[in-house]
Amino acid sequence: MIEFLIALTLAGLSAANAPVSEPVPDNPCPEGWQYVMSEVRRGERTVPAVAARLGVDPGSLAVWNGVPVGARLHDGQAVFLCRDQRPGSVGFPWRGRLRGGVNIDANGDGRGCGWVMGPGRVHTWGTPETVAAVSDCLCRYRIQYPDAPDVSLGDISRQNGRRLSRHVSHQSGRDVDIGYVTNPPQTDGRFNRRATMSNLDTARQWSIVKCFLDRGNAQYIFMGWQALSALRRHVESVPGERDYLRFFPRGAQPVLSQDQGHRDHIHIRFICPENDSECRDRR
């Protein structure tokens, strides 16, 4: 079937007097990608125009179809492209989707190493990198403080991403909400206690935040100003930790950010995974 469709493509190009460099191979896509067919729509006629609609690079589209980037196309002509099917984040955190997401609560019991979720929470799908980071840092917290309360774990994304109620972002598997470590603690996996300078367990909280910073893939960590101020004081008081002040507001690498909408939970956003072809950041 694919040979037949390719033949139609090449025939169409010949009819349009467009030069063909080489026959399109059976499947030029890398492992983990899918080879799919589309058609030239009325008025497109050029490789860049078709590529813009399909959201692919014009040069890649030309290679996939064995034609020059400047080739003239005709309405209804079959074109082929490679679609990334590997797990990953598509688009922006506030306008995107999740491809092949991983569920941090795979067994559905609402508990994991160092964390607990409130009843009914199901939007716990993220990129493999997001789930790995959250699982690692909260489990390290549990190992370091075996008698500490579990951290309340909030939303990540829907299974396929896209808009999630009560959130502006959380659309592409790269955002996660986690509760603060307070005394007394938040309970039942809920964000039912605001963090203040007086109730934040700074040593335990810093162990979690520091883990995310050390992993190197946290893009932003949003916190209320009292919690952020308490952590800053803690870091300033611990010998050997002052280098981490560069991650605080006005530092050289301000990953930590003050946001009064995050007084009862921390919001962490991760950078685009390496080699994720469709992931987008603001910058």
Residue 251 identity (one-letter amino acid): G
3 state DSSP class of 215: helix
Q: What is the pLDDT of residue 66?
A: 86
pTM above threshold 0.85: no
Q: What is the pLDDT of residue 55?
A: 82
Please give the tally of structural domains in the chain. 2
pLDDT under 70 in the chain at which residues? 1-26, 283
Cα–Cα distance measured from residue 10 to residue 67, given in angstroms and rounded to the nearest whole number: 9
User: Does residue 178 fall inside a structural domain?
Assistant: yes
User: Does residue 280 fall inside a structural domain?
Assistant: no
Q: What is the pLDDT of residue 1?
A: 40
Same domain, 200 and 112: yes
Q: What is the pLDDT of residue 111?
A: 96
Element (H, E) at 129: helix 128-144
Residue 257 identity (one-letter amino acid): S
The predicted-structure confidence for 36-70, as pLDDT tens digits, reads as follows: 889 999 989 899 999 999 888 899 999 888 899 99
Q: Are 153 and 112 in contact (CB under 8 A)?
A: yes
Cα–Cα distance measured from residue 112 to residue 52, given in angstroms and rounded to the nearest whole number: 43
- Cα separations (Å) of 171 from 83, 191, 223? 20, 21, 20
Same domain, 6 and 138: no
User: Containing domain of residue 6, as a range?
Assistant: 2-84
Same domain, 179 and 255: yes
- Cα separations (Å) of 177 from 73, 104, 157? 48, 13, 10
Q: The domain spanning residue 177 has which CATH number?
A: 3.30.1380.10
The predicted-structure confidence for 227-271, as pLDDT tens digits, reads as follows: 999 999 999 999 899 999 999 999 999 999 999 999 999 999 999
User: Does residue 279 fall inside a structural domain?
Assistant: no
Strand ranges (E), the chain = 33-39, 78-84, 88-92, 95-99, 102-103, 111-112, 115-116, 125-126, 151-152, 175-179, 218-223, 256-258, 265-270
Same domain, 101 and 70: no
